[in-house]
Amino acid sequence: MNICTYSYEEYVHLVKSFHGTLAPGLLIGGFMVDLAMKNLPEGEFFDAVCETPVCLPDAVQILTPCTVGNGWLSVVPFGKFAVTLYEKYAGEGVRVYLDTKKLDGWPEIRDWYLKKKKKQDQDSEKLFSQIKEAGHGLFGLQRVRVEADKVRRNKMGAVAVCPQCGEAYPTRDGQKCLGCQGGSPYKDILPVSAGA
């Protein structure tokens, strides 16, 4: 069974190259994106929503023109294994989700997905072969209309130079940048001159 324009083996190769490891979620995600692509509503330009940051965004980034950096892929933190492709202007879309009612036919996938087995008790070979065999058989499909303003990132808006760090930031964040307002995840900051 193909995944979009790739053979299963070609997709596996792309996953290893982009994602680093052959994660079960990325194989399932490949089939999900494939099913969504085969059920697109009419339209020319499609944006994507992933309902988890885990694995699934990479399937979208490998298989569609939508990426995090170009803003056509939005990630919403629902922790749900579901992906939606939608026409970017009217919002008409198709949502593919992992249907828990269909998992009983694939016990190794079920136990992995619902965390019924510890990692060391999982049978990887069986898991991967069930994923390949199941293909689209794990999924449910819905037509949806996406309220794009709820998922798309905000426009950057006006920028200014932060009076504290001297870097540019969006003025919508206030008198100084969010890092200097206490959000910085950095400690022990030490300026250095470039080494190359």
Give the interface segment with a copy of itself, choosing from 6-14, 58-66, 123-131 (CB under 8 A): 58-66
Give whichever of 126 and 148 is closer to a copy of itself, judged by the CB atom. 148
Give the interface segment with a copy of itself, choosing from 5-13, 81-89, 120-128 (CB under 8 A): 81-89
Binding mask 60-79 for a copy of itself (x = CB under 8 A): -x---x-xxxxxx--xxxxx
Using CB under 8 A, which residues numbered 90 to 129 contact a copy of itself?
93, 95, 97-101, 113-115
3-class SS at 16? helix
CA distance 86 to 78: 18
How many chain residues interact with a copy of itself (CB under 8 A)? 85
Using CB under 8 A, which residues numbered 5 to 34 contact a copy of itself?
18-21, 23, 26
Give the interface segment with a copy of itself, choosing from 3-11, 119-127, 178-186 (CB under 8 A): 178-186
CA distances from 61 to 29, 94, 143, 168 (A): 11, 17, 22, 28
Q: How far is the CB of 126 from a copy of itself (least distance, A)?
A: 20
CA atoms within 13 A on the CB side of 25: 21
Give the interface segment with a copy of itself, choosing from 6-14, 117-125, 126-134, 146-154 (CB under 8 A): 146-154
Give whichever of 4 and 128 is closer to a copy of itself, judged by the CB atom. 4
Q: At what angle do helices 24-37 and 124-134 cross, to 10 degrees?
A: 0
Residue 10 backbone zone (phi > 0: left; psi -120 to 50: alpha; other: beta): alpha
CA distance 28 to 58: 11
